[in-house]
Structure 1
Amino acid sequence: MTGPDDAVPDSAGSSAGPPVRVLICDDHEVLRHGLRTVLRRIPGLSVVAEADCVREALSLAGMVRPDVTLVGLDGQGPLLQDLVRELTGMGIRVVLLGEAGAGSDLVDVLRAGARGYVHTTASPQRLVECVRAVARGETVLDASVTGELLHRLDGAPRTAGGDRAAAHGPLTARQQAVAGLVAEGLTNAEIAARLEVSKATVKGHITVALRRLGLRDRTQLAIHVHRSAGPGSEWGLSPARS
């Protein structure tokens, strides 16, 4: 993440309603300070507590009842999954912050219930957007890992041939829906509004669809959908657009 003194654009500004209560958990004091500095400057966000380890975070969460807990992924150890499960069971949403790629540790923590992942190189604005989106009930994943994470999380079959073989497997129902809307000419923002998900989630589904179908970009995806559309096909194109 960029430095705490970086300006946060007004587009990350205030929102109606009570402030989003945030608990910060990371074993690096400097990082906690930076996160606290960034978040406390944002109208509509309130840092209610800080913890330097998983056990302290869980104890504080029970007392201060945050809306979102921002957890450093690195250095938290095997207890991190337990923390995420406990917080999720309390109705507290979890955002992960780390440098890890889409490895098994990150996948396991997301499966435990975490709702967001932000890379440490993300801008303050991106961090704020993620915290707010997760507080609204959305799932937000950093674009650098979205495609691979969705590929792992949705249980896509993996073969001895590697990713390229898996890339041509069938799409999930949600990926089909997103691809169909791409073919109708909708932007990511319009698709997100139609399906009531975040733009990052839409981008992730498109990334996975492209990988599985062996396509290069959304134009090729739209062409593929139109060519494949027909009676009984999975593509839900509107009659007027198909």
Structure 2
Amino acid sequence: MTGDSFAGTAQEVLSGSDGVPFRVLICDDHEVLRQGLRAVLLRATDLRVVADAGSAVDALALAARLRPDVTVVGLGAWGPVVAELVRSLSGLGVRVILLGEPGSGGDLVDALQAGACGYVHTTVSPQRLVDGVRAVAQGEVVLDAAATGELLHRLDDAPRHADGSRASSVGALTGRQMAVSRLVAEGLTNAEIAERLEVSRATVKGHITVALRRLGLRDRTQLAIHFHRTAGDLQA
């Protein structure tokens, strides 16, 4: 599976009245996993699966129409498209909990930075999954204990000065943000960067936005200048 999208189908379930139980949308590109998630979540009387989708396009369309409280998104092999999906769902006011394999690495970090409210491994017990979905629907943040250490390290990897303040250098960026910034510094457009890295333009824009925020810069021109000035220090 490559590119910005993934194939799949959507199966809608008519929802009941607004309010409790919490309304849940399931999104994963594997039908068997979607069916398994539905079966697990239906055990909880305070959770109602209103739909399931096998593609990001279907998930966004269903979320816009059904307005679920929370969406369970399987990381699977989707890659950068997960962060874009999470960002779009969050923009609709839908909270997102991620379900993925251990060692999802940078894709997981990008999705959390895009607004995901939780993450659990596919190896968790059914009850743990139910508890996690319920907690996220109630406004909490849930991170699987087995991944917390790695995630906190990756999400807070910017170097600090002796006084504890965060350094404003390209070292404050993740590997993906660094790669995008390097291409910005080379003068490539968002479309060209997207083609080079085989991601969507929205994903590139998202990485640039985060990089600008973390570095305290205003626009891509400042980003390019800053990268040229500081990249050499990292190689010294």
**Displacement of 1:20 after TM fit?**
0.9
TM-score, normalising length: structure 1: 0.57
**Displacement of 1:170 after TM fit?**
6.2
Structure-2 separation of matches of 1:74 and 1:131:
18
Structure-1 separation of matches of 2:49 and 2:78:
20
The match for 2:75 among 69, 73, 82 is: 73
Structure-2 separation of matches of 1:78 and 1:103:
11
Query: 1:151 aligned to 2:158?
Result: no
Letter in 1 for 2:119: Y
- Which whole-Å deviations, capped at 9, do the CAs of 1:14-36 have from their partners, x for residues lacking one? xxx71111000011111111100
Count the aligned residue pairs: 146
Aligned twin of 2:143: 141
- Which whole-Å deviations, capped at 9, do the CAs of 1:17-76 have from their partners, x for residues lacking one? 711110000111111111000111211000000000111101110111100000110122
Summarize the Cα distance change of 1:100–1:55 in structure 2 as closer, same or farther, 3 Å threshold: farther
**Displacement of 1:96 after TM fit?**
0.5
**Displacement of 1:138 after TM fit?**
1.1
**Displacement of 1:115 after TM fit?**
0.6
Structure-2 separation of matches of 1:157 and 1:135:
34
Query: 1:40 aligned to 2:60?
Result: no
**Ranges in structure 2 where 5+ consecutive residues have no aligned partner:** 1-18, 167-236
Alignment of 1:53-92 (within 5 A): 53-92=55-94
Residue 21 of structure 1 contacts residue 66 of structure 1 at CA under 8 Å; is this kept in 2? Answer: yes
Letter in 1 for 2:96: V
Query: 1:117 aligned to 2:104?
Result: no
- Secondary structure of the residue that 1:145 maps to in structure 2? helix
- Secondary structure of the residue that 2:130 maps to in structure 1? helix
Aligned twin of 1:94: 96
- Which whole-Å deviations, capped at 9, do the CAs of 1:80-114 have from their partners, x for residues lacking one? 21111111111100010010426111101100000
Alignment of 1:1-242 (within 5 A): 18-101=20-103, 103-157=105-159
**Displacement of 1:171 after TM fit?**
11
Structure-2 separation of matches of 1:85 and 1:25:
14
**Ranges in structure 1 where 5+ consecutive residues have no aligned partner:** 1-16, 159-168, 173-242
Letter in 2 for 1:129: D
- Which whole-Å deviations, capped at 9, do the CAs of 1:150-199 have from their partners, x for residues lacking one? 122134439xxxxxxxxxx9699xxxxxxxxxxxxxxxxxxxxxxxxxxx
Structure-1 separation of matches of 2:165 and 2:153:
10
